[in-house]
Structure 1
Amino acid sequence: MSQVLIHSCGVSTSLRFDDTSFFIEPTNLDDHTSSCCAGTYRRVKYTEVPLRNVISAKVASGVVEVQYLVRKDKQSRLNLATTSGAVQNEDSTRAKKWCEALLLVAYQGANPAKNLKVLVNPHGGPGKGRALYVSKVEPILLAAGCILDVTCTSQFHGILPSCSLMYSHIDTTHSGHAIEIAREMKLGYDALVTVSGDGLIHEVLNGINQHEHRDQAFCIPIAPIPTGSGNGMSLNLLGLQDGLDVCAATLNVLKGQPLKTDLFSFTQGDRCRISFMSQTIGITADIDIETEHLRWMGDIRFIVGYIRAIIARKSCPIELSMKVVDQDKSRMLDALHARRAGKSPSPSSPPSSLLSDDKKPDSASSSHDEWTRFKRPILWMYAGQGPFVSRALMQFPVSLADDGLIDISIQEITSRSALLRAMDGAEEGKTYWINTNRYFKASAYRARPLASKGNLVVDGEQVPFEEFQVDVLNRLGTFLSPYPFYAPEF
């Protein structure tokens, strides 16, 4: 059952699979080119494809067709490829059983055809979301037999490629449209696919938070396709090689498993919103807002903004208090490695003299419910979860998806030269070890800006510059992931 022979343009090719890979092999290695009836030549080369990358396998009218994702080389991104050929009439039944067996192992018994709600933002990042969806994403989903309910956030002029595909036509773009869609969506979807950056995920989660059946809606996994500027969540789920690859992200839609993650409630007065990735104030918030006009540059915009910001080097006057659980950087790293190895992390330590002396817990048995104040002057505060906030910055390298805590990075005032040096290795998380970068894990924090004006950013979206509090919503979020933890290693 592990092998079938196909014929195309005079070339005979063997298709087979084992427990880990799908193989395409010419039956005669010394002579595997043949003249086709059109006078052109077709070369069959030996190809090995991980079973995870197999998308579809079927027999129709005596022709076997297998579609899969493959790289031209180790550094290139994935692309959809097809191998097809005829089988002898007497082999058709056997070939059909072979295709069924291949799909069974390729999808580990799961149904390839998913019922998906797809949101496409054509304006995210460099503005290529719609084109990438049509050319790269949609063909893979349709090859797997998925039922697609697609909404574009502006008028969509695409041709319906399949009767199983449904487009919602939107004549005008308006802020918060994704919130409305998520709030009103039905509960029967296998996943909610966002073709955009992190901002669309933020809107979707806040819409789900208003859903009539909120808890059930939060269980529908979100699968990001990276076409925005930062694409931090996609990088965290898929890692550096695949985190910016739309085909790899589409494969995750088909093959990923639910990963529970912490979310955060961001409260200002009587207003509350959901945050899934980060909250920041100071220089890092200024960078995000003041480079909006550079979205066409992708994540390079943040590097440009950072250089501008450290030249100005504005301080961030703020009153900041936290419910600190740990601040030992070495122990937090050990906890990360223990989680990735499937072990339980060691207990955390109480805060130390970095915090206000009068509110500091005085023993290891002190309650983590006590508020402690950070008193030193700072340039910025960055809080959140998930290692990457963009390709150029691993801001929270020891973050865990569901530890019930929020990681808080506070940059004390330091020299411009030190800030410039910090750019070296920022994408690998090296700033974590810089002495002036104070790093905490907390169960909650609150802040009051002391300046009259400035920028406060939540998941890349600007919010009112006023007092706020953040609390952890343990394991409320659900994303599709190839791994039971965040992918990037530190």
Structure 2
Amino acid sequence: MSPSMRQVLIESRGVSTLLRFDETSFFIEPTELDGHKSSCCTEIFHSHKEVKCTEVPLRNVISAKFATGTRAIEVQYLVRKGKEMRLKLAMTHGAIKDEDSTHVKEWCEALLLAAYQGANPSKNLKVLVNPHGGPGKARAMYVNKVEPIFLAAGCTLDVTYTTHGGHALEIAREMKLGYDAIVILSGDGLIHEVLNGINQHQNREKAFRIPIVPIPTGSANGLSLNLLGLQDGLDVCAASLNVLKGQPLKTDLFSFTQGDRQRISFMSQTIGIMADIDIETEHLRWMGDTRFILGYLRAIIARKSCPIELSMKVVDQDKSRMMDALYARRGGASPGLSSPSSSLLSDDKKLDSSSSSDEEWTRFEKPILWMYAGQGPFVSQTLMQFPVSLADDGLIDISIQEITSRRNLLRAIDGAEEGRTYWTNSNRYFKASSYRARPLAPTGMLVVDGEQVPFEEFQVDVLQGLGTFLSPYPHFAPEFVVQDAHGKSRRTSV
């Protein structure tokens, strides 16, 4: 399309405005004024001095419509507002001036084609809203912010407000397979339910291909942070945009087995202090992410050890090598599995040779405070637990905190959101193809994806690439800034 065909002129309340777009942006350019405040662009123009060209990334354009009868054009898009620069739905509208209707209609179609890169804007969505999750604002967030974006794009919405624990699992188990995505307004717990419901679906393989998209209204929102990054990971409008514009990201899931019971885990399993914090601060969900910091401070005082028998099928434990693999993947390299090697094992690890079939298992012998295993850099906004995690490498990241002083544990708060504890000597970090654990204490907490499960022996195996989420990037979004052995900073980038 020629440059002249990429623009139209509209008029609203005496203001003539040129609308145009190129390969990357949509532009709103007032061309003349008569002293009136313009209504063509919500909260953009306020006085003669403030009138200027507004540039909107094409990705943020939601809709472009032309009404032939009124000869009016309307474009809806997302713009950043406020101190936190969160996205907000805005609109430009007005009557066309000299352009013919055919040209304007073609212009709207071309704008949408460029904004959605040829994909269909109107999606068939299954929406699950947990009105009780996190601070309890999911219903209001959906009605006031999320739904208007989906309706602007022309989506078909099948909405359910969950009423009880396990409700989302029941829905996912029985759902039809015609949806373009499953949208979840909650924290990470409801995602866990949906995945386990899909695992019980009669057409399990096809059901797992339906992308899941979180919209952050819980207290932790780890998956949303991992898909969208820190700036947008807690922004419900940015997450709604990801529903419309995101691309499938295949991710590993995990099989969590206790006896003959199996469940799907998508984010983490933890035992010890960190599991205690998750469950013991449950009554403080209204505080959001702050509840975890408060719980951690209390746990430091107690500094309770975690007696456990832990074995892993270790693939790597070289922190520098794992970091380099992260950089390579974000630079475009394909994922690949390493081969387990006994040369990777340090002196304080012993092979569990209790049976010939277990010769690949490595037993961790040192006393610990907690074990955290999973994928995705963030488990909450204040904790980057797995900074070198890759979405589909076929491995699970395992972080083991050896017993250390209260002073060191307190220091670990500083930079926890940036993954600095990755380099501390008392934090042992592994990539494994599977692991198993047996609690040795009579009672305690064992948490999977934020949900408490029986405090019993368990095993975790990787289900490579089984999960499908939508993401703006071909990898987890968060940036990991690290220091090498010489104290020099190294950075990953999107």
Does 1:429 pair with 2:454?
no
| Equivalent pair of 2:284/2:291 in contact (CA under 8 Å) | yes
Match of 1:408 among 394, 398, 402: 398
Q: Distance in 2 between the 1:147 and 1:212 partners?
A: 24
Q: Distance in 2 between the 1:374 and 1:32 partners?
A: 76
1:376-416 Cα offsets, whole Å, 9 max, x none, are 00000000000000000000000000000000000000000
Q: Name 1:158's counterpart in structure 2.
A: none
| Equivalent pair of 2:64/2:108 in contact (CA under 8 Å) | yes
Q: Name 1:7's counterpart in structure 2.
A: 11
Does 1:123 pair with 2:94?
no
Matched position secondary structure for 1:357 = strand
Matched position secondary structure for 1:179 = helix
Letter of the structure 1 residue corresponding to residue 11 of structure 2: H
Does 1:479 pair with 2:465?
no
Q: Structure 2, unaligned stretches of length 5 or more?
A: 40-44, 481-494
Change (3 A) 1:36 1:329: closer
Q: Distance in 2 between the 1:46 and 1:74 partners?
A: 21
1:353: how far off?
Answer: 2.2
Identity of aligned residues (%): 79
Q: Distance in 2 between the 1:48 and 1:377 partners?
A: 57
Change (3 A) 1:184 1:20: same
Does 1:16 pair with 2:20?
yes
* Number of residue pairs matched by the alignment: 460
Q: Distance in 2 between the 1:239 and 1:140 partners?
A: 21
Change (3 A) 1:355 1:185: farther
Change (3 A) 1:266 1:369: farther
Matched position secondary structure for 2:171 = helix
| Equivalent pair of 2:6/2:21 in contact (CA under 8 Å) | yes
Q: Name 1:64's counterpart in structure 2.
A: 73
Q: Name 1:110's counterpart in structure 2.
A: 119
Q: Distance in 2 between the 1:148 and 1:23 partners?
A: 30
Q: Name 1:182's counterpart in structure 2.
A: 172
Alignment of 1:283-294 (within 5 A): 283-294=273-284
Alignment of 1:208-223 (within 5 A): 208-223=198-213
Match of 1:418 among 394, 408, 411: 408
Letter of the structure 2 residue corresponding to residue 448 of structure 1: R
Match of 2:107 among 73, 92, 98: 98
Matched position secondary structure for 1:109 = coil
**What TM-score, normalized to structure 2?**
0.90
1:356: how far off?
Answer: 3.2
| Equivalent pair of 1:378/1:410 in contact (CA under 8 Å) | yes
Cα-Cα RMSD: 1.8
| Equivalent pair of 1:26/1:32 in contact (CA under 8 Å) | no
1:354: how far off?
Answer: 5.1
Q: Distance in 1 between the 2:14 and 2:102 partners?
A: 22
Matched position secondary structure for 2:230 = coil
1:344: how far off?
Answer: 4.6
Q: Distance in 2 between the 1:357 and 1:119 partners?
A: 47
Alignment of 1:306-385 (within 5 A): 306-344=296-334, 347=338, 350=342, 351-353=344-346, 355-359=348-352, 370-385=360-375
Matched position secondary structure for 2:173 = helix
Letter of the structure 2 residue corresponding to residue 185 of structure 1: M
| Equivalent pair of 1:381/1:410 in contact (CA under 8 Å) | yes
Q: Distance in 1 between the 2:37 and 2:305 partners?
A: 71
Does 1:262 pair with 2:252?
yes
| Equivalent pair of 2:187/2:219 in contact (CA under 8 Å) | yes
Letter of the structure 1 residue corresponding to residue 345 of structure 2: S
Does 1:275 pair with 2:257?
no
Change (3 A) 1:10 1:335: same
1:162-191 Cα offsets, whole Å, 9 max, x none, are xxxxxxxxxxx2210100000000000000
Alignment of 1:42-81 (within 5 A): 43=47, 44-60=51-67, 61-72=70-81, 75-81=84-90
Change (3 A) 1:74 1:35: closer
Q: Name 1:390's counterpart in structure 2.
A: 380
1:429-471 Cα offsets, whole Å, 9 max, x none, are 0010010000000000000000000000000000000100000
Q: Name 1:159's counterpart in structure 2.
A: none
